[in-house]
Structures are given as structure tokens and as C-alpha cells.
Amino acid sequence: MTKATALLIFAALAAAPGGYSAAGKALGNPKAPVRIDLYSDFQCPSCKVFHDGTFGPLVAKYVMTGKVYLRQHEYPLPMHAHAREAACLACAADKCGRYWQVCDALFQTQDSWAKDGKVAAAACSVLTPIEAAQVQALARTPAILDAVNDDIRSGQTEQVNGTPTMIITKLMRRYPVAGPVSFPVLSRFLDSLIESQ
Amino acid sequence: MPRLIVALRVLLAAVFCFAAYTKLRQPWLVFAMSVDAYRLLPAWAVFGVARTLPWLELAIGLLLLSGLWSKYAAAGATVLLVLFWLAMLRAWTAGAGINCACFGVGEAVSALTLARDAALLACSAVLTFLLWSPNTRLLRASRLAA
């Protein structure tokens, strides 16, 4: 997702009429016919591919139009040394209402902080100095660690075994989908799901 | 030798029929997303593969089970298993956290799935070799003559 697309989406969500919101780590109308629970790891290259290529169009075409309710979950994989820190910083940014901006910044600069470990600098690059100080302090609190652990436990319950994983739900039917699915293919599936009774 | 051929045919037939069943019982677009996650094909090819592959697997499984054109079915199975194995190896070495999509959803590409696929490939290659081998054909011909 480019910065311009991200800004457009955030602005549109903010201006959208009732029901559509960027509340915490969820986007869209909770009463939308389809729900997507997205389990993601900020240090995972496939998650970056998904974020850069699929996430933006997904939000623009389905979330902003009230067809899909999207909820993001942290799922830092043990093999990624800085993933948990990144997840904590993003969850801390959520407390300041800046989750999606930090999320975008972390994916945009993944190559660099994954190598040098300067995760906080990458996450805070889109925050004001006051927000940055708040986020860095919050990221170390037990409440934030618990929030990340809750997401991980939720993923384990859903039998998530890689990232990104989407659990796509319509009524009682659930479809787990792992990997960086491209937008044209995901879009065709979502259209068929939305049209089905 | 004939017993080995029958055992390999039944084993591979069961695997291919089960693989087809797990894909055909879910919406084909779910399998399309699993294929797409490998990031090897453009969208139009992903849709084509997702539509046809389960039926091809079923056909190969049934042909191996029935013994009809089993030479060609075994060769087809070997080619498919080589392609699957290479795709999985590429995904695994790239660290892509994707499902192998071998038997529906929920099984990540791992060293275990690669080893399992390699074992099936070895079985299929042996079966193909035996079915195409002139010695096997001579043996069959002599039995028929007797």
C-alpha cells in the first residue's frame, strides 16, 4: 500500500457516514456481511507483500463500502527477532489512535529495521514527539504485552500456522486462507461470498 | 514385481483421489487462493489451475485404481508430483508462510510436507519406471501367453 493510498483510505474512513469506522485494530462496519480476521507479523516478508499489494484495494473496495469488516491481529512468529517488539509498538500506537499509520510505517520500512533492529525509530517516524514517547513507554507495559499475547492465543485457537492468514467468515461458514493472496483472486472470492445467500 | 506394481497403484490412487476430494468439497475459489499464495502464476492461470487440477487428480486416481492407461496415469502423476514438490520447495526456501494446499486447507508447507511429497514422488517414479520398462511388459506378455 502506498503512502498516498493509505492517507486516502484513512481520510475516507474518517469522513465516512455512520457505521464505518477505524476503531482500534478493526476497520469497517461490524454488521458487514463478511468478516475477515487477519493474522499478521510485521517482520514477515509475505505479510509485507500482502500489505503492499492487497490490503489497500481490499479496504478501498470492500471495507469502505460496508461489505467487509476487517479485524487485524498480531501474530509475531518466533523466528522473527523483532516481530514481537513491532507488534507491541503497533498495539501501543493503537492506544493513541495511530495503529494503522504505525502499521503502514512498519511495513514500508521492514527491510531496514529487520536488519538493524531499530523498530521503535521506524514505528515512531509517523508520530509526533509526544506520541512517540507515549507509544514507546506504553509498548513495555503489561497491558500491551497481554494484548499481543491475547492475539497470539486467538491465532493458536484458530490454528494459524503461518502469516499472513485470513479467517474469512460469512454467517457460520469460515474459510481460513494462508499466504499473500493477490487482490484479483481474493476479490473474486469475496464477490462470490457476498453474492451467495 | 506385479504385487509391487499393484501396491504402488493403489497407494497413489488413494492419495490422488483423497487430494481431489478435499479440494472439490470446498468452493473452488478457496483452492484458487491457496494456489495464488504460491505467487507463481498470473490470476487467469490460477483460476484455470484451481478449476481443473482437482478433476485431473481425480482422473489420475481413478485410472490408477482401475488399471486403465495406468502407464500414462503413472507418468502424469510423476509429472504433477515433481511440479508440486518444486513449488513447495520454492515456497519453503523463501520462508513464505503458506498452506501447501495438498489436501485442502490448514497444512503449512514444511520440511514434513516436502518429505512426504518426495516419498510419494519416489513411489510414482518407481511405478512409472516399472510400467514403462520393457522387462515388465515382457513379463506381462509371457503371463498372458501362458
The DSSP annotation for chain A comes to --HHHHHHHHHHHHHS-TT----TTEES-TT-SEEEEEEE-TT-HHHHHHIIIIIHHHIIIIITTTSEEEEEEE---TT-TTHHHHHHHHHHHHHTT-HHHHHHHHHHTHHHHHHH--HHHHHHTTS-HHHHHHHHHHTTSHHHHHHHHHHHHHHHHTT--SSSEEEEEETTEEEEEES---HHHHHHHHHHHHH--
Q: Which residues of A48-71 are buried (b: 16+ CB within 10 A; e: fewer)?
A: bbbbbbbbbbbbbbbbbebbbbbb
Least CB–CB distance from A179: residue in B30, B37, B47: B37
| Interface probe, candidates B22, B28, B29, B90, chain A, greatest A C-beta count within 10 A | B29
Cell of B126: 518407481
pLDDT over threshold 60, residue B137:
yes
Query: What per-residue confidence (pLDDT) applies to A27?
Result: 94
Which residue on chain A is closest to B92 by alpha carbon? A162
Contacts of A137 (CB under 8 A, 6+ apart): A92
Q: Which residues of B sit within 8 Å Cβ distance of A? A: 26-27, 29-30, 32-34, 36-39, 43, 46-47, 94-99, 105-108
pLDDT over threshold 70, residue A37:
yes
User: Residue A193 — pLDDT band, cuts 50, 70, 90?
Assistant: very high
Query: What per-residue confidence (pLDDT) applies to B100?
Result: 85
ipTM > 0.90?
no
Q: Give the C-alpha separation, A116 to A130, whole Å.
A: 24
The SS3 of residue A167 is strand
Cell of A188: 473474486
pLDDT over threshold 70, residue A7:
no
pLDDT in tens, B78-88: 999 999 999 99
How many Cα neighbours within 13 Å face the side chain of B73?
Answer: 22
In this structure, of A17-26, B15-24, B111-120, the range with the lowest mean pLDDT score is: A17-26
How much is the average pLDDT of B38-61?
96
Query: What per-residue confidence (pLDDT) applies to A98?
Result: 92
User: Residue B141 — pLDDT band, cuts 50, 70, 90?
Assistant: low
Q: If you average pLDDT over every residue of chain B, what do you get?
A: 90
Query: What per-residue confidence (pLDDT) applies to A6?
Result: 54
CA distances from residue B4 to A4, B30, B128 in whole angstroms, order as listed: 63, 37, 12
Query: What per-residue confidence (pLDDT) applies to B2?
Result: 83
State how many domains chain A has: 1
Residue ranges making up the domain that contains A74: 3-195
Q: Are A112 and A78 in contact (CB under 8 A)?
A: no
Task: Give me the CATH number covering residue A39.
Answer: 3.40.30.10
Cell of A86: 513491532
Q: Are A37 and A73 in contact (CB under 8 A)?
A: yes
pLDDT over threshold 90, residue A161:
no
In this structure, of A20-24, B96-100, B107-111, the range with the lowest mean pLDDT score is: A20-24
Cell of A56: 489497500
pLDDT over threshold 90, residue B144:
no
pLDDT over threshold 50, residue A15:
no
Q: A179, B46: Cβ pair inside 8 Å?
A: no
The 10 Å Cβ neighbour count of residue B93 is 10
Q: Give the C-alpha separation, A173 to B24, whole Å.
A: 16
pLDDT in tens, A89-146: 999 999 889 999 999 999 999 999 999 999 999 999 999 999 999 999 999 999 999 9
How much is the average pLDDT of B95-123?
87
Q: A180, B43: Cβ pair inside 8 Å?
A: no
Burial class (CB in 10 A: 0-12, 13-18, 19+), A130: exposed
How much is the average pLDDT of A150-179?
92
Q: B97, A175: Cβ pair inside 8 Å?
A: no
pLDDT over threshold 50, residue A14:
no
Residues in chain B: 146
Q: If you average pLDDT over every residue of chain A, what do you get?
A: 88
List chain A residues with CB under 8 Å of B95. Answer: 44-46
The 10 Å Cβ neighbour count of residue B122 is 12
In this structure, of A10-14, B25-29, B32-36, the range with the lowest mean pLDDT score is: A10-14
pLDDT over threshold 50, residue A20:
no
